[in-house]
Each structure stands twice: as C-alpha cells, then as structure tokens.
Structure 1
Amino acid sequence: MMLIRTLSILLLFVFCGCNSNSSKQNAAKTEFSFESIKGIRFIEIRRAFNNGIAFDEQGFQQEPEWIVEFQSDTTVKTYSPTRKKMIDFVVTHSHDAVYNFAKEWFRVKHLSKDSLVFQRLQVNGKEVATDIRSNVYMTFYAEDYITNKLKTTAEDLQKPRKQDSLFVKNHAEIANKNPLDSAYFFAARNPVVFTSNSKMITVEKISTVDKLLNRTASYNYLYPQYKVIISPAYKDFAYTISAVVDQNGNLFVYKFNADEDYKENRKKVLQGILDVYVSKLTTIKPGNTLDFTHSTLVVLNLIGKK
C-alpha cells in the first residue's frame, strides 16, 4: 500500500511538471489569428524607426505606403504601387509572432479591428538581423476607423510629424555649418535642381534605381547624380566627381580621382569648371527636406566638348 501511494505521488509530480513545461512553451509561442480582421482593409499611416522618427542620420525617410487586407490566416491582399492594384500573397507563419508575406518578414506587435502594428524584419538566411533594418515599425489603421472615428484622411495621417521636423531641422542646421564635413552630410529629400540658362550647357538628373542591385527609388535622393554636358568647352574632358551644394546654391568640389602628385592641380581645374560653367550658366536651387534648405552631396558627370 505504501509503495502504491509513493508511486502515485511521483506520477503526480511528473504530470504537473509536464503541464508546467507545456504551459511555458505555449506562452513563449505567440501566434496571431487574422480571422478576427478578415476582410478589413488597413492603410499604413506611419512608418518609423524604433525611436519614433521617420528619418535616419543619413536622411533616408521611411514612408507609409502599404495597404493590407487579410483574407484568412494564410492569405492576404496587399496594394502594389507599381501595378496600381491589390495582389494576393500567401501568409507564412515562421515562429513566435513572425510572418512572411509579400516578400517581406514581419513581427506582429499589435492586432485589432481598428489598427495593426508590424515590426519589419531584415532576415538573412534564418537569422533576424539586429541592426537598424529590423527596427522599423509600421502602423496601420482600418479605413472605417480613419473615416468614421477619426474623421480624417489617410493622407493627412501620413504627413511627417513634429518630431520628424525637429530632427530634420537639427540635421539641416548642422550640415549648413559644416558643409564639407562628411560626418554631417544629410541627403535632401528634394534634391538639388540645376536649371540651364544657356545653350552651352545641359543638365540631366540620372536615375540610379536598379532592382537587380536592390537600389530602390530612395537612391534617387540619397545619391543624386547629374549628367552635365558643356559645349563648346575650353577642351574635351570627362570627369565624374562628387560636389557639395550649400544652402545658398554655391558649388564646391568634394571628391574626385587623381594621382596624389596631380591632386591639387586637378582640384583647381575642376573647381574652375564648376565656377565658370556650371555656376554661371545654370540656376542652382539647393536641396531641401521638409522645407528646410540645407547643404547636400551630389555626383556630377562633367562632359566637355570643344
């Protein structure tokens, strides 16, 4: 009898232990069901880094542009800006609250009939990157919530916020005080504009978008490039340089290729080309971000034809 009682107690401990471990595992695994929001269209109204700001130190801006509508736990419709329509995607659950759809990885942070919050993740192989690429948060509001409860529009909610303006203002002021210091370069969301005032010169902005190299549309303002053709010029030449356009539209040589022995002379020649041709024959509108004008770096492909 004593033996039976002892065995019963041992079995009870084992059973409780198994239940305890099982409970801990289930608590650790957070899987969301999208059935509760099935058929509700959500519009992304805010995309920002984990500090709550939509801009990074380089000047890259996170922009809300997604529209999602879950059809079930395994399918979702997302809006394609390029194809101008909603497209069906499979929803794949990885682990915890991590999901994949529309060729992107997300961690679900919040889910309700009024709003969603996703953390966009950068996944390399099977590992989630721990850098800034995985620190992007996307907030969605339901169309009905925007229209009938908030009494506003998605376009109004998507506008930059006060913290964005303060961040940009600070970086613009620092960049303007140190225009030639690369530590303070800040890309202009609205890049420099060169307007020709003479038949001697043409300036064309070049798109650097390349899907194969994963260069998105943001490259056009992060690394703005221009093709400058001068004809007639004092001689035939072709130089690719980076230059700084300050807040007043002044143009300064920044970086170029040359042997060390000829570097000083080459810089004088290049600055001369900028002063005599580009600055005098074009109107230069400096770059700006959120209406704050600031110095910025540009790449110029200078072509002279005698």
Structure 2
Amino acid sequence: MFLPKNFHLLLLLSATIVFAGCDYNNPRLRKNKKPISFSSVEGITFTEVSRKQKNGLSFNEQGYHLAPEWRLRFEPKDSVALYSPEKKQFVNFPLSRGIDSIFATSHSFFKMLHMSKDSMVLDMLQAKDDTLDRTNSAVRMTFYADNYIKNNLHATIDQARHVSHADSVFLKKLIGRANADIKNAFAAQQPVNFISKRPAMQVSFWHRTPKLYYNNYDYADNYMTPTFDITLSKAYKHFDYSLSVFVDAKGQITYRMPMVGFYGDDQAAANYVKISKFILDNYLKPNLTVVPGQTLGIPHTSIVTLHIHGRQPAFAQTVSANK
C-alpha cells in the first residue's frame, strides 16, 4: 500500500482547519470544550456490525450496500489502529480530537454518540471546505467489542452483521419490481457469473481490490458495476465491442446499450449495435452458462458490462494477409 510521507501531517492539518472552523461559541458547545477522550476504551478491539443511512436502511434502490467493514482499536498517544484485510494486520492512523465528541482519522470525521467497553455508536460527518456539518450525518455506524460479540452475543462477526428486518423487507420489494420489469434492475450483492462452455471462449471478471488509504475498503465497485472481459480466441477477425446487458432471474441476457460514445453519428451507432448484438446472440448466448445475480439468496435482474474481444488465430491471420 502507498502512503505519502506527509500523510499524517496532511490529515492533522486538515482536521485542525475544520475543527477551527467549528463554532466554539455555540451555547450548546460551551459546556463541553474539552476534547473527547478515548482512555476508557483504549486497547479494546471493536468491530463494525451496522452502517445505516438516515432512513435506517443499509441499502438504497440501486442496490448499494453500506457494508459494515471496519475493525478498530484506539491506541495511546492519539492514534487509531484500523484493520487492513489487504495486509491482514492492524495499521496505525493519526487521531485528531475535537470538542462536542468529534474526532478525525483515516481522512474521515466522526461524532461519537455512545461509547462503552462493549459498544460504540458514531456518526460519519461531512466536511466541506473548512466547515464541518455536525447535525446532518449521512451515515451511522455501530460497533461491538469483539469480546462482547463472543461472550455476550455468543455469535460470530458475520452473524452479528446480519441483514435487518427493515432491509429484508425493502430488498424483497426491489427484487419483485426488478423481476416484473427489467428496467427496474438493481445491483446484485452476489453478481452475475458467466461460465464458458468452450475453450475458445475465455471469461474474466474485473475484480477491483479496495484500498484502505483511498476508499476505506469499499467493495461496492465489484457488485455495483460488474464487468467482464470475454475473449473469442478463434474469431473470424479482430474486433472489440463494449456493451451493457440485462441478466434476468432466469439467466436470460437482453441487450441494453453500447458502452461507447458516437458523438451524433447515428449510422455508426446503428452499425455498432447491430454487429455487437449479433455477436451476443449468436456467439455468446449459446456458449455461456449464466448464473443470475442474487440478493438475500434470491435471483433477480441486474445490469452487467461486457467487453467482447474477437481474436483471429495466427494461422488465419497469415492466410488473410497473403490473399
């Protein structure tokens, strides 16, 4: 992982600027001008079990999931250890503390709402320029201490992160709409899978690896925009086409739109769609086993991007060149 040499300094500077922009003369804040302290929970490992929007849901209508991913531990001397799945170890980040239970770490600002040795609840705050919005949090995060999960809940971390009843009801409604009309497709938590039936057709999924320092391990790209390279190694000629398709609950593929711009050239657009649709219908569909995308274990219509590459065998290229 890449970490700029001045990363800690930049974070502390940005936090100082934002904290300085807070209205310390606000009457509500006068009672608590002392920076928040984490001494009572230092050394305790907390795991995030829930991350919700203002409406209390973890999902939105596009299928995006505010997944609880963080594990953290407050350390002495103003630092926070965040777990890195990539490195499989905790990585220390600087901690900046402000008044009104506000703090900053890992290029994010938070307001602590509840803190005990068993659990924490905090709001992720939005910072714009030198102003911090302390009242309109977009995300609420709930953490349980690892010991609490094991000894009090008698559960695993995955069990503690179960989908709520409200989310289940919401998602089943979306699934019903998507299966009734493909135009209501939304991202599947378990994306579509394509399996080639022929050695001459290779399928590769674009797997994006999240980074702690850039997006705090947001895995959303892998299911929000599932993308595949499909290469036909014995094509009649070289070609490359990029298109978006619907895949319904039965694994049926429907052409959606090309994924390139034509800048007003209607004829070029029509030809592109005609040829790429022909390749999809006559080469891909008959030679692919399609596993539809699923959410809550229920198949539903979702959208997938395909980059189709035709590659002419070397022998055929030589014959063609000699004609």
In which range does the TM-score fall when normalised by the shorter chain?
0.7 to 0.9
Shift of 1:137: 1.3
What is the CA–CA distance in structure 1 between the aligned matches of 2:101 and 2:134, rounded to whole Å? Answer: 16
Equivalent pairs, count: 282
- The reply to whether residue 249 of structure 1 matches residue 251 of structure 2 is yes
Residue 127 of structure 1 aligns with an amino acid whose one-letter code is T
Residue 203 of structure 2 aligns with an amino acid whose one-letter code is V
Cα distance per residue 1:58-108 (max 9 Å; x no partner): 211122222222234723322222221223332212342221123322111
Residue 195 of structure 1 aligns with an amino acid whose one-letter code is I
TM (norm. structure 1) is 0.81
Unpaired stretches in structure 1, ≥5 consecutive residues: 1-20
Q: Which residue in the other structure is 2:3 paired with? A: none
- The reply to whether residue 92 of structure 1 matches residue 96 of structure 2 is yes
Shift of 1:193: 0.7
Once the two structures are superposed, the pairs formed by residues 38-53 of structure 1 within 5 Å of their partners are: 38-53=42-57
Q: Identify which of 43, 67, 70 aligns with 1:63.
A: 67
Which structure's CA Rg is the greater one?
1
What is the CA–CA distance in structure 1 between the aligned matches of 2:40 and 2:210, rounded to whole Å? Answer: 39
Q: Which residue in the other structure is 2:288 paired with? A: 282
Shift of 1:50: 2.3
SS in 1 for 2:281: helix
Shift of 1:157: 0.6
Kindly indicate whether the alpha-carbon contact (under 8 Å) linking 1:34 and 1:73 is maintained by their aligned counterparts in 2: no
Cα distance per residue 1:237-281 (max 9 Å; x no partner): 211111111111111221114531344454332222111111101
Deviates most, 52-61 or 207-216: 207-216
What is the CA–CA distance in structure 2 between the aligned matches of 1:22 and 1:131, rounded to whole Å? Answer: 13
Distance 1:218 1:84, change over 3 A: same
Kindly indicate whether the alpha-carbon contact (under 8 Å) linking 1:252 and 1:271 is maintained by their aligned counterparts in 2: no
Shift of 1:31: 4.5
SS in 2 for 1:78: strand
Shift of 1:283: 0.4
Residue 86 of structure 1 aligns with an amino acid whose one-letter code is F
What is the CA–CA distance in structure 2 between the aligned matches of 1:268 and 1:234, rounded to whole Å? Answer: 17
Cα distance per residue 1:99-130 (max 9 Å; x no partner): 11233221111112221011122423323479
TM (norm. structure 2) is 0.77
Kindly indicate whether the alpha-carbon contact (under 8 Å) linking 1:168 and 1:292 is maintained by their aligned counterparts in 2: no
What is the CA–CA distance in structure 1 between the aligned matches of 2:100 and 2:72, rounded to whole Å? Answer: 21
Once the two structures are superposed, the pairs formed by residues 155-304 of structure 1 within 5 Å of their partners are: 155-179=158-182, 181=183, 184-209=184-209, 216-256=218-258, 257=260, 258=262, 259-304=265-310
Residue 300 of structure 1 aligns with an amino acid whose one-letter code is L
Aligned Cα root-mean-square deviation (Å): 2.8
Cα distance per residue 1:131-150 (max 9 Å; x no partner): 99x41111111233223333
